[in-house]
Structures are given as structure tokens and as C-alpha cells.
Structure 1
Amino acid sequence: ITIVNLSTFILLNVLNVIFVLLINNNIISGFSYYLPGTGLENSLPLKITILSFIIICISPIVASLLLFVIYKL
């Protein structure tokens, strides 16, 4: 049970790191998201890609499905 959860957690985190590296190296284009205080002390806005929203949606769905499948057995 914990191996499946741990491997899913690690896989989603690795995908997140890969997307962040691709955005920072301008391989994948992203749009700027200005948070309150952006620009203070020369801070840059966040660069977000559409693919990150897919990961944000997939993560709880996968967790819910795994919870259902694991505890139904």
C-alpha cells in the first residue's frame, strides 16, 4: 500500500521539478503570474505553464483513485 502511494508521490514531484526546469530554461513557454509584492527588491513574477495545472488536477484524482482501490481490496 505504501509503496504505491510513495511511488505516486515521487513521480508527481519529479514531473513538477521537470516542468519547473523546462520553464526556467525557456524550453516551455509560460505566462507570468504577478503575486502581491512582485517587484519589491527586484523579485520576478512566477512563470506558470498550462501543464502545471494538469498536474494540480491529476494529483488529487490519482490519490482518490488509489485510496478507493487500495482500501476496497
Structure 2
Amino acid sequence: MDKIYIYSGPPSGVTLPDGRETMLHPGQDATLPEDNAWVRTNLALGNLTEAPEPEKPARKRKEEPTDAS
């Protein structure tokens, strides 16, 4: 399963086992597989951090009908 990370290492590139090539730039998001050894190593080194989950918009509450009497 892929996850979004924020990269903070030097400009770099990686070819993942599935053949995807990803360019990495400091401060930018990168979508990477969380079960990959390279990803786990860079998490441990502090070059990658998990991006915060985007906030879900609040659900609108249904307005209750008003009594027109």
C-alpha cells in the first residue's frame, strides 16, 4: 500500500521494485510504498516523514424543518 511522505534529504531519485522511478526533492511530497526496505531505511534516517492525513471537511448537518405556524 502506498503512503504519502515528505522528503527532507538531498535531491535524489529512486527506482522502486515495481519499476516506478521517483525524483525526490527536499520539502516535497512523495508517494511511496510503506512496505519497502528503502522507504523504511529513509524513515529511520529521518529523510522521510509521514505526511499528515488531510482533514476531512465537516459534514453538513441536515436542517430540521421549522414549524411555520
Task: Pick 1 or 2: higher relative contact order, CA cutoff 8 A, min separation 6.
Answer: 2
**Higher share of residues assigned strand:** 2
TM above 0.5? no
**Higher share of residues assigned helix:** 1
From the CA coordinates, give the structure whose radius of gyration is larger: 2
Quickly name the TM-score band, shorter chain normalised.
Answer: under 0.3
Provide TM-score, normalisation by structure 2. 0.24
